[in-house]
Structure 1
Amino acid sequence: MRPCRQLAPQTGHLMTSFYESFVGMRSDRLVAILLLLQRREQVTAAEVSRELDVSERTARRDLDALAMAGVPVYSVQGRGGGWRLVGGARTDLSGLTASEARALFLAVGPASDATPAMKAALRKLVHALPKPFQVQAEAAAASLVVDPQRWGASRIEHRPPRFLDELQDAVISGVQVLLGYVDSKGVETRRTVHPLGIVAKGPVWYLVSNTETGRRVFRIDRVSSADPTGDPVHRPGDFDLAESWNETAKEVDRKRTPLEVQAVCTPDGIGILRMALGDRLDVGGSTTDGRIEVVIRGPNESILAGELSGLVEWVEVTGPPRVRDRLASIGNALVERYGRPRTSGDLHPS
């Protein structure tokens, strides 16, 4: 018998393990596995696979992820082996340590994809925790948002940034931080911030904070120092990290895609537009001829016209005129290149 992974003793380590282990793992599966382990003396990956209707490979990965994040789960090797909770099936999960409670609630907090039933089960578990752990567990649950959709074609490494652990601790502990920060132009500043939450946007980590000038978002890989002041954070009573980040992401997307194109689309083309354009597409009402009004956002005329030229079977751009002109130019170029019969000279240019 041996632990599959050493349990993470500190919140910062749990934070790193969480991102590496739980991105891509459904939160309701996590809780279901915990409850399954609590009901039985021991489970195998095959049993978890059958119970949750996932592959054995996924079941093994999920079990391993629980252990990596600091939840008291270990593997028994050899013939008749499997997975167990520390202390056996009679283990009371309300007896989790502070670090283990943080690990669980980081993974299945209000901002996660857990079902309402799973979240209700967690609320019951919170109330069963020792009083000193309840505040920390609830703070951990509200401290993190994972937004898997990256901005642009980022090639940033997945290695967590230097001050991630310290800032996560500050969020959960509710203390202000004297933050050193280097902006995109290389200018370094120092300011006192009120950390409110951490967001993982693709491979990039962000700190959401209140400052003297209002709500700000800082890229954590640009943080040059993070010194807790010991003073309590002033946290708005109605603050919700997921909602705040959603508004921030929308604002950034609007700045990245400032150009709006008006168009009409055939009903059978709406699904194709959704797949091609994602959240850059806004769908409106129907026109008198049965088509559907849409607004499409993009960074500039050239990129948008290039995208829409491949959707001409379903979409007619109605404005602005400069995008229509660009599409006409692309159409003329396509006819010039592909609209005449091919000759041997076309195939083998001299």
Structure 2
Amino acid sequence: MRADRLLSLVLLLQARPSSAAPELAARLGVSVRTVLRDVAALSSAGIPVYAERGRGGGIRMLPAYRAGLAHLNAAEGTGLAVGQSRLAGELGLGDALDTAIEKIIGAGGQALRGGLAQGRRHVIVDVDPWMRSGEAVPLLPAIHDGLLRGRCLSLDYEDSDGARSRRTVTPAGLVAKAGIWYLVTSEPALVRVSRVHECTVLPAPAVLPTGFDLDAAWARLRDRVEARPRPLTVLVSVSPPAVALVRRVLARHLAPASGASSSHLVRLSFAGVPHAVGSLLGFGAQLTVVDPPAVRTAMRTAAEAVVALYADP
């Protein structure tokens, strides 16, 4: 274990030839005193690393020294496979990803460090869709832990209609789609992680069907969701300044135009009346439902409920 820590210390110092002892201690999960002892041991072994005391001091390594092995642990390897900082952080692997990148930079030298810095200056990867931030997923690390341990999970789950139930699932994999985490189970089926209220890792092993392929299962589930019928067509009249906004935000609901068209009339498709009301009510007075009457009535009922909620006592 100490040998692993010593090599990790060397690689972290290669990435940052001068680092504060408390920072290294936090990275390695040990005390500052342990870091100083490790520095002394490395120095005795002929590795050009030393502690510099005083203001602006720290643990330093001669820039010319190079060890060519990145030596990532399991958590760092998993974090690197995820790749994106926010997603790794939600899995509880944010620090592991940062450490893995620093180790690789340390093993790769100045050229790799410069290339990474240049890439970060010119490319940003944002996994969240427009008009929506990522969902809170406090139980994602527990679900991920059960998945890695190959155990079944007992979940307190709330479905899209708000009904809660206890279910036991066999986890097969996790998918981050447009900033939203899903658990793929062995059926296969999708469990939206943000709707899990409680997760218990069970002793029972998670046995997947013979030949189960996560990529293929996800492709089938994705196609099933994208092909889900939306039989309700809703015609809305949009105020001219909001036409572009409505078309952008509701792009996946746009229905093919039929008959005479108008720039302010937009035809949309939804799974049902509640789906339509939930999607349209947030636009307030920027749009008006023209047809069908059932959606107009439901919008009025929902709006009256909001007014009543904020009425003076």
* TM-score of Structure 1 vs Structure 2, range by shorter chain: 0.3 to 0.5
Q: TM-score normalized by structure 2?
A: 0.44
TM norm structure 1: 0.40
